[in-house]
């Protein structure tokens, strides 16, 4: 009997199967399209599935109740770095491995971070809107240079290090980083990054970019008190998770001019809702993007290929890679 893959992504079942079949010698399998299933329908499908291909739009939650219906699922493969919509503890208790695609979008997120910083510090959006209105405000734009500034990285994993590697060329005064795990001195030297505590980083940095995962240690890490501790006139960029930063406090700081601007790619509710306080901020120095930092064409292809290859490994009886729970 053919094995079964339950796909919760908004992709045709035939396309998901084609991605998996790029790996040689995959045994016979069928793909069940589950993106539009109700929870009850998902539970029935889970009872039949050998592997689950997750939803990169984060709309199809894999709750403890859904997991309880699994009878033979060996792997839940999430086609993204984030997996907060999956009850990993429930999967672990059930003996189901959960894997993500960490690293597949590292370059994309790093480049997006730097693009935001350049647009903000060069005041590009004000310059663009002013010129399009027929004004010539050459002396009012007042762009600044990255050279000589201090850049603080909150989170120094793959993406934080990728940003550090790329910004060395801008001749910054210094690159600071804070992380729960301090890197080896050889890594710090190679990336020209200095470790410091979070409060010091916030107070010294001209540009702060967030690259932490979301967990109990990082949730609301940049709360109202932390926002107030940020150096006056600095810029904040969040390409990690919305729940790391207090949106209301950030919106207020930008509106009041305490922060010079911000670049935000992640939101507490997605798609963004009209009630989000950031939408009320009237500023050319607030860049809002719809969670696209990690979805360049190249990254999207890499994510799908990495996820599909992992599904193929399990279908062939091999061990998956990038497993996030201890199984």
Which has the closest alpha carbon to 111: 315, 310, 324, 289? 289
The residues, any chain, with a CB within 8 Å of residue 40's CB and separated by 6 or more, are: none
**Six-digit token pair at 223?**
């709360």
Q: How far apart are CA 54 and CA 40, in angstroms?
A: 17
- Residues whose CB is less than 8 angstroms from the CB of residue 273 and which lie 6 or more positions away in sequence, other chains included: none
Q: How far apart are CA 112 and CA 99, in angstroms?
A: 25
Q: Under the phi-then-psi rule, with left for phi > 0, alpha for psi from -120 to 50, and beta for the rest, what region is 134? A: left
Quote the strand ranges of the chain, DSSP E: 3-7, 29-33, 51-53, 75-77, 97-99, 150-154, 174-178, 193-195, 207-210, 235-238, 261-264, 286-288
Q: Report the catalytic residues.
A: 241, 270, 291
Distance CA 19, CA 11 (A): 11
Q: How far apart are the first and last CA of the chain?
A: 27
Distances (CA, A) of 125 to 135, 151, 166, 261, 290: 14, 21, 23, 11, 17
142 vs 153: CA distance, rounded Å = 25
Query: DSSP secondary-structure letter at 290?
Result: S
Q: How far apart are CA 315 and CA 322, in angstroms?
A: 16
């Amino acid at each position: 009997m053919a094995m079964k893959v339950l796909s919760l992504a908004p992709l045709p079942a035939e396309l998901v199967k084609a991605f998996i079949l790029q790996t040689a010698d995959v045994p016979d399998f069928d793909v069940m399209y589950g993106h539009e299933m109700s929870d009850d329908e998902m539970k029935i499908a889970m009872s039949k599935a050998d592997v689950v291909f997750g939803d990169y739009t984060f709309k199809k939650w894999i709750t403890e109740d859904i997991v309880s219906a699994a009878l033979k699922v060996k792997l839940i493969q999430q086609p993204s770095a984030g997996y907060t919509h999956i009850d990993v503890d429930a999967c672990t208790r059930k003996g189901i491995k959960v894997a993500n695609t960490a690293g597949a979008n590292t370059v994309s997120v790093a480049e997006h971070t730097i693009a935001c910083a350049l647009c903000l510090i060069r005041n590009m959006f004000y310059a663009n809107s002013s010129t399009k209105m027929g004004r010539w405000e050459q002396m009012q734009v007042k762009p600044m240079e990255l050279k000589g500034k201090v850049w603080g990285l909150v989170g120094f994993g793959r993406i934080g290090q990728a940003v550090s590697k790329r910004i060395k060329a801008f001749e910054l005064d210094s690159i600071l980083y804070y992380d729960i795990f301090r890197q080896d001195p050889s890594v710090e030297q190679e990336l020209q990054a200095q470790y410091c505590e979070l409060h010091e980083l916030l107070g010294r940095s001209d540009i702060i970019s967030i690259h932490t995962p979301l967990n109990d240690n990082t949730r609301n890490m940049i709360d109202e008190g932390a926002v107030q501790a940020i150096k006056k006139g600095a810029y904040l960029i969040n390409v990690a998770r919305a729940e790391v930063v207090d949106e209301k406090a950030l919106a207020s700081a930008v509106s009041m001019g305490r922060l010079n601007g911000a670049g935000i790619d992640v939101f507490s509710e997605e798609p963004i809702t009209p009630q989000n306080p950031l939408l009320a901020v009237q500023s050319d120095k607030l860049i809002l993007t719809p969670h696209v930092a990690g979805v360049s064409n190249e990254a999207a292809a890499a994510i799908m290929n990495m996820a599909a290859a992992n599904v193929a490994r399990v279908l062939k009886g091999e061990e998956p890679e990038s497993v996030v729970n201890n199984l």
